Structure 1
Amino acid sequence: MSKAIEIETDGKVVSISNPDKVYFPTRGETKLDLVRYYQAVAEPILRTMGARPVLLERYPDGAGGKSWFQKRVPKSVPDWLRTTTVETPNGTTSDALVAADLAHILWAVNLGCLGFHVWPTHAGAAEASTAPVVYDAAGNPLPPTGVTDELRIDLDPSPGITFDDLREAAVRTRNLFSELGIDARVKTSGSRGLHIYVLLEPRWDGYQVRAASIALARELERRHPDLLTASWWKEERGRRVFIDYNQNAPHRTVFGAWCVRPKVGGQVSTPVSWDDLGAIVPDELTLSTVPARVEKLGDPWADRTPQSIDPLLEMSQRDMDAGLMDAPWPPVYPKMPNEPPRVQPSKARKA
């Protein structure tokens, strides 16, 4: 193994052990190459991820090796490392890493982090929250989410869906946002999907943001039923793009913008402009190509401004007044008020 090196950044010294260790076997990029990538995109990544808690996806032997998700930071850490308390849906707490600056990102890279999954809140948001307490169907209080300042839509391709289909779905989604006066931006997922993000005014909690995303998904399905679906159950989706509103369920994380995926090719979840969406090839957006792209084109999300989801919340209220129920929650969440039965439709029919 190669000798450790020290990198000075943000007034701190980060030790990088085994810098020549291959992390991405397709082209042979190393741990040090990953460090250099994050140094190259430090400004845009901290613009989107800075001061947010992150869940670490660790691959100490590189992409394709053993892995695990780590929400809690290890006990032995530098005295400058910033953490914050986060909660799971059942109220379990843990100390999560805060992406406070580039030094914190590089510290995680040294641990073999090949993926940052980012909270839609800033550190300390739960403690500062003044939102009313939310209760589950059994009357138990749920963990507060704090101010949630990003709405995130995952366009999830069903079998048979092409990337051209995804592009069309993203444009249809953007058109609805634009009609409502909401500025939305797009990025590749680093895998098969596309993510659409809206930076929000600091006015709503996670439950409200999820309600807004459900209203968006249902309206998109009403307008484009052959292309888009809000159906949680896979057996009901058919050959359509699923608008995954549950990425906005409180205490959920989404793979971060500008972050390198734990794939052997080192693909990056890359923000792109709407004008460029038709020309990109996602697998070509890697840690080896994205820095030059940023240098040439800049950050397409640099001018984002906080948006209002009032139009979507009004749409949600109209759906509730019309007799619609809440959409299904992921199985790790407690049963929620006004939620339909958590059983596959085919099994419910047999019962």
Structure 2
Amino acid sequence: MTPITEVAGRRVALSNLEKVIHPATGTTKGEIVHYYATTADAILPHLRSRPVSFLRYPDGPDGQLFFTKNPPPGTPDWVRTAPVPRSEDPKARQVVIDDLASLVWAANLVVEFHTPQWRAEQPAVADRMVFDLDPGAPASVPDCCEVALWLRERLERDGLTAYAKTSGSKGLHLVVPLKPAPSERVSAYAKSLAVEGEAAMPQLVLHRMARALRPGKVFVDHSQNAAAKTTATPYTLRARQEPTVSAPVTWEEVEEGSANGAGLVFRLSDIAPRLERYGDLLAPVADHAGAGSLP
């Protein structure tokens, strides 16, 4: 029998809480649900009003992984959905995680959260811009840090403020709060900076996705600004052997990572102490403090 718990006045079914999801650390599904429940104040502002896509990994990272944009079967009627028309399905809808009960319900499915750069009420109008810095071995996180610092300075010249987070995988994400602008325009600007970065640091930076060009370079992936694309949400767990998190980092940490080669890797258990110390380092992205206009 599936246990039912009450969360913020909603009845949420929780199942298999003792099941080990991350084998390297023995992290259970119950610990994952607890992580999201206790991190809700930080993650919900980054999920709220955005259609969410799920990467589900109910049997852990070695099991089947499946990416879904459609509301999963059995989605409770109290979980909000929003219309997100797609060419193949003009009546498509997606889940929007607006509250604690919806977050705990989704956590029970064992998911990564991925969100677009726009809100449900303004499809394809971006209020943030992202750069996914993805290293091709032997390039690694310190190389990503070096590129991130260049991008931060370059964005500042255009009056834009960048914030950094780990991808939770092997790279870094830069997130820039924007005054709303069409996704096409944001994409074009982001691509122009990636091209500029490659011209400035040709030994290190790559703006094209071609696999053959990737070894030893940092691919500045600008494509996630396209309206149809999504990025790992701040504070989401990732489907890795260890329960790594896409965690906001300070620019001092990025500078240290560039200088001494320190890896920026944060796990589920690291986040509560970081929130206590720093608060949400990406709060200005969620509340649009200091949002800039594209040049």
Instruction: Answer yes or no: same fold by TM over 0.5.
Output: yes
Alignment equivalent of 2:243, drawn from 261, 266, 277: 266
For the Cα contact (< 8 Å) 1:89–1:251, is it kept in 2? no
Gaps of 5+ in 2: none
Alignment of 1:131-210 (within 5 A): 145=124, 147-202=125-180, 204-210=181-187
SS at structure 2 position matched to 1:66: coil
Corresponding residue of 1:122: 119
| Kept in 2: contact 1:5–1:19 (CA 8 A) | no
- 1:158–1:242 Cα contact (<8 Å) kept: yes
Q: Residues 226, 90 of structure 1: CA spacing in aligned structure 2 closer, same or farther, 3 A cutoff?
A: farther
Whole-Å separation in 2 of the counterparts to 1:282 and 1:4: 37
Match of 2:5 in 1: 6
Shift of 1:180: 1.6
Give the CA deviation at 1:274: 0.6
Q: Does 1:288 align with 2:266?
A: no
Q: Secondary structure at the match of 2:144?
A: helix
- Paired AA for residue 122 in structure 2: A
Distance in 2 (alpha carbons) for counterparts of 1:14 and 1:181: 45
Q: Return the offset for 1:5.
A: 4.4
Moved more, 186-195 or 220-229: 220-229
In structure 1, the gaps of 5 or more residues are 127-144, 312-351
Kept after mapping to 2: 8 A contact 1:85/1:124: no
Instruction: Measure the CA separation in 1 of the matches of 2:120 and 2:133.
Output: 27
With over 3 angstroms needed to count, the CA separation of the structure-2 counterparts of 1:159 and 1:253, relative to structure 1, is same
In structure 2, give the amino acid aligned to 1:201: K
Q: Displacement of 1:213 after TM fit?
A: 0.4
Check conservation: 2:140, 2:170, Cα contact below 8 A.
Answer: no
Select the structure of larger CA radius of gyration. 1
1:303 equivalent among 252, 271, 284: 284
Q: How many residues align?
A: 287
Instruction: Give deviations 1:92-150, integer Å, cap 9, x for gaps.
Output: 5522110111221211122232x011111112323xxxxxxxxxxxxxxxxxx2x2111
* Cα 1:310/1:282, change in 2 over 3 Å: closer
TM-score calculated relative to the size of structure 2? 0.90
- Distance in 1 between the 2:245 and 2:203 partners? 30
Identify the residue that residue 72 of structure 2 maps to in structure 1: 74
**Alpha-carbon distance in 2 for matches of 1:119, 1:104:** 18
Alignment counterpart, residue 194 of structure 2, candidates 200, 212, 217: 217
Q: Secondary structure at the match of 2:145?
A: helix
Structure number with the bigger relative contact order (C-alpha 8 A, sep ≥ 6) is: 2
Q: Is the 8 A contact 2:194 2:207 kept in 1?
A: yes
Structure 1 residue 238: deviation in Å? 5.4
C-alpha RMSD of matched pairs (Å) = 2.0
CA deviation profile, 1:210-245 (whole Å, cap 9, x unmatched): 011011112222222222122343334553211111
Q: Which one-letter code corresponds to 2:113 in the other structure?
A: F
Among 49, 60, 63, the residue aligned to 1:62: 60
Query: Which of 35, 57, 62 is equivalent to 2:33?
Result: 35
Matches within 5 A, 1:244-263: 244-263=221-240
Identical pairs, percent: 34
The answer to whether the Cα contact below 8 Å between 2:207 and 2:221 also exists between their aligned partners in 1 is: yes
Match of 1:331 in 2: none
Q: What is the TM-score with the length of structure 1 in the denominator?
A: 0.76
2:197 is paired with a residue of what secondary structure?
A: helix
Q: Aligned residue for 2:110? A: 112
Residues 84 and 97, structure 1, Cα contact 8 Å, conserved in 2 = yes
Q: 1:90 deviation in Å?
A: 5.8
Question: d(CA) in 2 for partners of 1:45 and 1:210?
Answer: 25
- Give the aligned partner of residue 340 of structure 1: none
- In the alignment, the residues of structure 2 paired with residue 272 and residue 162 of structure 1 have an alpha-carbon distance, to the nearest angstrom, of 17
